[in-house]
Amino acid sequence: MVSTHDLVRAWGALLRGKKPALSIEITKECPLRCPGCYAFATDHVGRGLDLKQLHDLRGDALVVGVTALVRRLRPLHVSLVGGDPLVRYHELEVLVPRLLALGVFVQIVTSAFRPLPAAWAGLDRFELVVSVDGLAPDHDRRRQPATYARILKHIEGHRVVVHCTLTAPMARRPGYLEEFVQQWSANPNIKKIWMSIFTPQRGDELAEIPSAAERARIVADLYCLRERYPKLDMPRGLIAMFAQPPASPRECVFARATTIVSADLRTAIVPCQFGGDPDCSRCGCFASMGMAAMAEHRLAGGLTAGHIFHASADFGDRLARWLPQQKLPPAA
């Protein structure tokens, strides 16, 4: 739950030309080869450029570089992604307490292919999100070596969020979503379950992309499941946004509120975390839908929170043109 204090701080950051959230692809390395992975798609980093072509950092250079980036951009929320961040687990053991000491909320998104440090269990303002691609047979086929067996072993003693990206094959099997939610809800190491819908690039024709009818079925199932499984952290307003996602990155609160930096700690990923040319009409990003739902909140005078956000972001964008020290350094 976002506190009023954090909302006020985020608003202040926007007005000063800063984005309150920062997502860092701290490594280009990943032991998985998941079909449809956006991070390794052509043009993710830029036209004709993918993540594997960047020079990433390791050791002290990574720790110092990430810390310096956070100090300069001063976000409220930092998400460490990849690749898989646990490829750099030695560096993370240093980075996590260092970033928490700066007063930011730290989130790590991982496949949990390797054990999670015991020191992370019970940390305040810290969150582990574990990606799980459906039920065990489907997940294990797509996400070797981060199998169900490894995940269950590695999350023992932690309280993690499970995140599943829903695909067309999942939507076609009756009861699939409930079986998934029921199974993970019963695990005491799981505190919340989040679900996204697979988001394609414009022009993509992939087996993972749900049809309009399958997307509607997913939405209907989520409405029902949230009533029966409290760990499914999907408010009604968020689910509703899957049926009417933001029309463009310019209209997406999450895209406008988040700076995404790739593995060289210099290259910005635009227009949002997916990079390239995402098909916003079929966006299924959990974070985007959550922030879009918050933007729909009605205020006095017929305004919404979204009106205030976009007006503040527009003002901050104009101000940022006069504050070059907040920008990323040019790519090497």
CATH (domain of 254): 3.20.20.70
Cβ pair 128, 116 in contact under 8 A: yes
Decide if 196 is inside a domain. yes
Count of domains forming the chain: 1
Cβ pair 177, 155 in contact under 8 A: no
Q: Give the mean pLDDT of the chain.
A: 93
Angle between the N-to-C axes of helices 305-320 and 4-15, in degrees from 0 to 180, rounded to the nearest 10: 40
Strand partners, 201: 278
231-268 per-position pLDDT tens digit: 999 999 999 999 999 999 999 999 999 999 999 999 99
Decide if 197 is inside a domain. yes
Closest CA to 41 of 247, 202, 250, 257: 202
36-68 per-position pLDDT tens digit: 899 988 889 988 777 888 999 999 999 999 999
> Could you please report the per-residue DSSP string of 281-321?
GG---HHHHHHHHHHT-B-GGG-BHHHHHHHHHHHHHHHHT
| pLDDT value for 57 | 96
- Cα-Cα end-to-end distance for the chain: 39
Decide if 82 is inside a domain. yes
Decide if 332 is inside a domain. no
Residues 6 or more apart in contact with residue 186 via CB below 8 angstroms: none
Decide if 331 is inside a domain. no
Predicted TM-score (pTM) of this structure: 0.93
pLDDT tops 90 at residue 302: no
Burial of 81 (0-12, 13-18, 19+ CB in 10 A): buried
Decide if 92 is inside a domain. yes
| pLDDT value for 48 | 76
| pLDDT value for 316 | 85
- Domain of 185 in residue numbering reads as 4-326
Question: Following CA atoms 10, 15, 19, 21 in sequence, which dihedral angle do they give, to the nearest 10 degrees?
Answer: 0
Please state, for a pLDDT cut of 70, what percent of the chain lies above it.
95
Cα 28–194–270 angle (5° rounding)? 40
Residue of 283 and 331 predicted with greater confidence: 283
